[in-house]
């Protein structure tokens, strides 16, 4: 499925296509569309197609909830006035989860130029409409070739493992003191660019089950990460990639969510920002504040001509900051190595 | 083109599909999606596909501006949580205009039920990006059959005539004193339900040319018409149809627009509301306030079970109100006769 | 002008009226419309009428910028589905400023019930479109009676004095460390409910001059104050009043604004929250972070039946917190005394 508007013969049920003109409110002042705007569109397409599929056989009515988004790279920027073409199709189903592949293309409708903006893989889990804690069974899809099913199963096992790992890691993390007095901080330190926002979850943020859409959360996370990046380098910044995000905990309508971001690592031309989402269902006495999601966003700084600019190095002060910087470096080198391997492989074919 | 997601081999270039989950803010408190929300989605799809087509050959870059929307009937209501599937394709091109057909289907993704919500025909005119007063040439589309071209040409001639007529009528209309003291008015009079709102045109309301999207205007018109209807009958009301709307005058970013509505006619089960849009480009010295658009909206009142309710008769007081009531009655009877003729024709086939 | 809907022969130019149905996103989960939603509507009406007036004579094109909002009391709550009727008129003009009176009524269009929600007085200053630092001259309005002009002049002098005072006070305030680790804080302390959010100023937030609309700022302030109040008493809370707010410093498009709130005082049935707005025009090297606005919001806690509930007493820990509590008590007693005097006066007539 490469052409917008073309619903190719995919392995699963009918694909879905969403197109929308990018408005000034979707972009930063340099005219680059926020990564968060795109992530929100991707997730909406995924939620529609997976909820539709999970209800396609006479079973218990259910709503698909986002469980995980695989790492995605933003390959080229999208601008105000361009059309975002988002197409989604189901590529694998396990007993209790659905894998959705989404392609995003930017289209300049004045010149006809089209570019792949990014591709993403999302995992959804269908929750019963009557009992939100019950996961219902997913109708299996038909595969054109046996290999498609085998490859899907492999991807399924891999993400399952990764989700378990982050669940444990998330539990460990103790929330840092955030938002110190920026005035007294040195530029380029972690504390200088640290930022957080709070958001009261409204009805339009939620699914039919009354829980926040994963796409809404990702958009807010990108907003905070973008502010951290801009505070650090004071230039036009854009989202370059988002690491895999796991949604372990649902967030209920009426909760207050705090989204906090801190810079963890800088390379010559990129910044890594760790973002936490903490939910406080404060009218619900039975439960205190809890960590709902966390993720790493990578940003680059662009010149007026759209060329990557050098990024000021992050100044680490505490032992924890130094440790996180090294961990970020590890992720950076790993990704770089993986990309080079893929390019060599592609060159050989 | 009946299947969402399927871009069939239509007469024109690749069709476009837009899908979106309906949110609480898209609907009234009874959960029925506003007609204006749907009109806005329709117009966005039309603007994308016609701008794309008009730039498909190496010519002067241009942006398609909405010139006219044909009468559309809302056949069945759409609800919060349902998916609106809007698909658009180009069905005719003249030298300077593009006809777009749009189908809207509501889809309950829990039950799989789909219903045609409405169909609409929109006419766009491509304006040069460099000189907004210049209409550029439209590349011709290919027709599968000769009859398609002939029928399109007939529709083109008809709408052209109608546009000329309303242009003259629009000029005549003298804007009435609106929004008198409602407190002292009798219920069910014209003055009692008259309403207006003002809106400051922001950047996200506008196209690349810096003029308001037709869909934004229609959404505001529906909002005012809905308030008039609700004030009159104090029940849950929904948009039943919109008469042909002609967009004679562009509205520039930064203008203030006043949208006013007054009831003109009631039948047993429907209300007709006339809506005016006046633009005031108030920081632009060269031009005063002007009438940009006007249209008739028809609303029905629904019981909790979704059945049409009787509507209180409109009390006319002045000569003008009586005249407008009779004119509304004429339009009502004409539409009714046309519909009956279509049904008989359909029954004979 | 006492009656909304009446565009009577006021002292100034034609009044304007804005009506809008309140949507789910305008309200909290109990269905009460946020005070901030209403403040934003009020300011939009004020900006339109004063910009229109200031451009009504052939002078330099200009945009009216909000300079001050007088204290306003929210007399009765507004709910989702009701229509907010906002009417504004110009009541006084000095050489360089415009006074706008705004009345807000809630209207239940199903029952016809109307209630005064609040009244507000706003002061605008016209800034040249070509040179944003130049204040242009305001065309004088006509007064029906000489006393109207005299009373207006008195109000003008009073607010001028107050603006000067807060300007000095604002400069003094040193911004406290905010948002410490809430987990370790005792409930009902200042630190426990302290909250802040950041917002990246987008194009829709701004006027034609590229500066944030005062109404956008007030809406964000109310959002933070509401979260502080809800965290303190964990019940349904609503805005009861807002003290006079002075807008000394403009905020430019592309800035990041931090809005922070802390509770300063509680009476038996009300909470006072101080809110700060700090702007960081971070791509503009020439200027650091600065205090743009600050204000006091008063909230009450409501039972499910809409009756005021007792509020847990604020626990003050530091000397500063104790001092601010006493100052808040002073404001509370002063307001109470003023209101009692007004009621006695009204009873005597």
Given this model, what pLDDT does residue B7 score?
36
pLDDT, one tens digit per residue, over A84-96 is 999 999 999 999 9
d(CA B265, CA B330): 10
B4 interface with A at CB cutoff 8 Å: yes
Sort out which chain A residues have CB atoms less than 8 A from C282's CB and list them: 230-231, 234
Nearest 10 degrees: CA dihedral of A262, A264, A266, A269? Answer: -60
Given this model, what pLDDT does residue C305 score?
85
Subunits close to C (at least 3 CB pairs below 8 A): A, B
Find out whether A246 and A167 touch, Cβ atoms under 8 Å. Answer: yes
C109 interface with B at CB cutoff 8 Å: yes
Nearest CA in chain C to B237: C110
Sort out which chain C residues have CB atoms less than 8 A from A79's CB and list them: none
d(CA C142, CA A72): 63
Find out whether A182 and A244 touch, Cβ atoms under 8 Å. Answer: no
d(CA B17, CA B89): 9
Find out whether A89 and A12 touch, Cβ atoms under 8 Å. Answer: yes
What are the φ/ψ torsions at residue C34 (nearest 5 degrees)? -60, 140
Work out the pLDDT band at A173, boundaries 50, 70, 90: very low
| Helix, strand or coil, per DSSP, at residue C53 | helix
pLDDT, one tens digit per residue, over A104-133 is 999 998 888 999 999 999 999 999 999 989
Given this model, what pLDDT does residue C95 score?
95
Please give the model's pTM, rounded to 2 decimal places.
0.82
Q: Quick check: A7 pLDDT over 50?
A: no
d(CA A274, CA A331): 12
pLDDT, one tens digit per residue, over C208-247 is 888 999 999 999 999 999 989 998 998 889 999 999 999 9
What are the φ/ψ torsions at residue C159 (nearest 5 degrees)? -70, -30
Given this model, what pLDDT does residue B285 score?
61
Q: Which of A25, A202, A231, A256 best probes binding to C when mutated, by most C CB atoms within 10 angstroms?
A: A202
A180 interface with B at CB cutoff 8 Å: no
Look at B28 and C21 and tell me if their CB atoms are within 8 Å.
yes
- pLDDT tens per residue, chain B (349 residues)? 333 333 333 334 568 888 888 988 898 888 899 999 999 999 999 999 999 999 988 788 999 999 999 999 999 889 988 999 999 999 999 999 999 999 999 999 888 889 999 999 999 999 999 998 999 999 999 999 999 999 999 999 999 998 888 776 655 444 444 444 555 678 899 999 998 888 888 888 998 888 999 999 999 999 999 999 999 998 889 999 999 999 988 999 888 898 999 999 999 999 999 999 999 887 666 777 889 999 999 999 998 888 999 999 999 999 999 999 999 999 999 999 988 988 888 787 6
Find out whether B312 and B232 touch, Cβ atoms under 8 Å. Answer: yes
Q: Which of A81, A177, A198 best probes binding to C when mutated, by most C CB atoms within 10 angstroms?
A: A198
pLDDT, one tens digit per residue, over A17-70 is 888 889 888 988 888 999 999 999 999 999 999 999 999 987 889 999 999 999
Look at A24 and C204 and tell me if their CB atoms are within 8 Å.
yes
Given this model, what pLDDT does residue B16 score?
85
Distances (CA, A) of A218 to A42, A68, A259: 10, 11, 10
Look at B48 and A16 and tell me if their CB atoms are within 8 Å.
no
Confirm whether B278 is a catalytic residue. Answer: no
Given this model, what pLDDT does residue B38 score?
95
pLDDT, one tens digit per residue, over A236-291 is 899 999 999 999 889 998 888 989 999 999 999 999 999 999 998 876 667 778 88
Q: Locate the DSSP E strands across A243-314.
A: 245-246, 256-266, 271-280, 290-302
d(CA A186, CA C286): 17
Confirm whether B28 is a catalytic residue. Answer: yes
Look at C289 and A182 and tell me if their CB atoms are within 8 Å.
yes
ipTM: 0.78
Given this model, what pLDDT does residue A284 score?
66
Counted residue by residue, chain A has a size of 349
Look at A253 and C29 and tell me if their CB atoms are within 8 Å.
yes
Nearest to C19 among B202, B227, B282 (CB): B227
Given this model, what pLDDT does residue C169 score?
61
pLDDT, one tens digit per residue, over A288-330 is 788 899 999 999 999 888 899 999 999 999 999 999 999 999 9
Q: Which residues of chain C have pLDDT under 50?
A: 1-12, 171-182
Sort out which chain B residues have CB atoms less than 8 A from C88's CB and list them: none
d(CA A152, CA A12): 12
Work out the pLDDT band at A178, boundaries 50, 70, 90: very low
User: Which residues of chain B from 200 to 259 reach within 8 Å of chain C, CB to CB?
Assistant: 200, 202-204, 223-224, 226-227, 230-231, 234-235, 254, 256
Catalytic-labelled residue, pool C222, C236, C246, C278: C222
Q: Which of B175, B179, B299 best probes binding to C when mutated, by most C CB atoms within 10 angstroms?
A: B179
Q: Quick check: A74 pLDDT over 90?
A: yes
| Helix, strand or coil, per DSSP, at residue A196 | strand
Query: Once rounded to an integer, what is the mean pLDDT over residues A204-224?
Result: 92
pLDDT, one tens digit per residue, over B164-213 is 887 766 554 444 444 445 556 788 999 999 988 888 888 889 988 889 99
């Amino acid at each position: 499925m490469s052409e917008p508007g073309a619903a190719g013969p995919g392995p699963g049920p009918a694909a879905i296509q969403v197109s929308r003109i990018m408005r000034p409110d979707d972009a930063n002042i340099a005219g680059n569309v926020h990564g968060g705007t795109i992530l929100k569109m991707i997730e909406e397409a995924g939620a529609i197609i997976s909820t539709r599929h999970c209800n396609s056989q006479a079973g218990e009515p259910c709503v698909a909830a986002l469980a995980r988004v695989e790492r995605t790279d933003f390959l080229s920027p999208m601008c105000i006035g361009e059309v975002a073409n988002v197409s989604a199709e189901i590529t694998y189903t396990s007993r209790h989860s659905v894998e959705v592949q989404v392609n995003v293309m930017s289209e300049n409708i004045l010149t006809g130029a089209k570019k792949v903006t990014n591709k993403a893989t999302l995992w959804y889990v269908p929750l019963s409409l009557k009992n939100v804690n019950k996961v219902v069974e997913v109708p299996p899809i038909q595969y054109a070739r046996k290999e498609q099913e085998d490859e899907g199963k492999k991807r399924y096992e891999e993400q399952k493992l990764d989700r378990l790992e982050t669940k444990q890691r998330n539990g460990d993390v103790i929330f840092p003191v955030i938002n110190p007095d920026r005035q007294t901080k040195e530029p380029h330190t972690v504390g200088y660019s640290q930022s957080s926002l709070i958001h009261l979850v409204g009805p339009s943020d939620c699914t039919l089950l009354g829980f926040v859409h994963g796409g809404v959360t990702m958009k807010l996370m990108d907003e905070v990460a973008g502010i951290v990046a801009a505070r650090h380098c004071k230039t036009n910044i854009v989202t370059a990639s988002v690491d895999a995000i796991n949604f372990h905990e649902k967030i209920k309508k009426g909760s207050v969510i705090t989204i906090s971001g801190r810079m963890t690592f800088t390379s010559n031309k990129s910044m890594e920002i760790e973002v936490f989402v903490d939910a406080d269902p404060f009218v619900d006495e039975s439960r205190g504040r809890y960590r709902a999601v966390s993720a790493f966003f990578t940003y680059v700084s662009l010149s007026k001509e759209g060329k990557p600019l050098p990024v000021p190095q992050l100044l680490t002060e505490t032992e924890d900051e130094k440790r996180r910087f090294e961990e970020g470096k590890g992720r950076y080198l790993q990704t770089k190595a993986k990309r080079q391997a893929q390019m060599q492989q592609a060159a050989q074919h």
